[in-house]
Amino acid sequence: MHKQVVFPEFLGESELAVVVVIPSLKEDMSHLFKRFHAGEEIDYWFSWDLVVTDSAEYLVLLEMNWDQEESLVVAFNREMWEFLNVMAEKQSMVLMADWQIVDEGAPDLLREEEFKPYALLIRNVHTGLDKLYNHVKELVGVNEGIEELIQLQLILEGTQFPKPTTLH
């Protein structure tokens, strides 16, 4: 299985989603974007995890998978963890590979005839943060005094608020 680990260059929020800009995706995932632009429906799944690097830095990972053999791992370092609360609140994330959408704004670009964004919408991105929270809580109990873990636990506690129920 091919796994690519990337770090966001920019994190922000719109009215509807957390916006994550990773310019390298435009080239690295061009085959996937071509399939999206051709109108193909592509199933994906994702999970949240916590890893510690060789330099003892904790990273929160969002691993996205599709087509059984491909995946993308987005790594969030300590400075980015505050966005986990926003992700839980917005429940959607847009991974963007093109600064043009941020610079010019999507409404202006949508008027262009051949607008094909290099962006992936992840719905229900908060799914799995509860498991990550429980894992971090366990680690804090076993590894007392690790400031990064304590901070992450406090941040993730903010993602545990009840979600509104939508009935159809």
Within 13 Å, how many C-alpha atoms sit on residue 135's CB side?
11
Which contiguous run of DSSP H or E holds residue 6?
Answer: strand 2-6
Tell me: pLDDT of 168 over 80: no
Q: Please give the residue that has the higher pLDDT: either 15 or 111.
A: 15
pLDDT digits (tens, 9 = 90+) for 99-153: 766 666 555 544 555 667 788 889 999 999 999 999 999 999 998 889 999 999 9
Rounded average pLDDT over 5-23: 91
Mean pLDDT of 21-31: 88
What pLDDT digit, counting tens, does each position of 42-97 carry?
Answer: 889 999 999 999 998 999 999 999 887 778 999 999 999 999 999 999 999 989 88
pLDDT average, residue stretch 5-26? 91
| Cα–Cα distance list, 154 to 41, 84, 101, 147 (Å) | 37, 11, 33, 11
Neighbours of 143 (CB within 10 A): 11
> Distance between CA atoms of 13 and 125, rounded to whole angstroms?
14
User: Residue 160 corresponds to which amino acid?
Assistant: Q
How much is the pLDDT for 129? 95
Reduce the DSSP state of residue 127 to 3 states and report it.
coil
User: Which pLDDT belongs to residue 117?
Assistant: 77
**Euclidean distance between CA atoms 149 and 138, whole angstroms:** 10
Mean pLDDT of 24-33: 86
Contact (Cβ atoms closer than 8 angstroms) between residue 158 and residue 85: yes
Q: What is the pLDDT of residue 109?
A: 42
Structural domain boundaries of the chain? 2-157
Q: How far is CA 70 from the centre of its chain?
A: 16
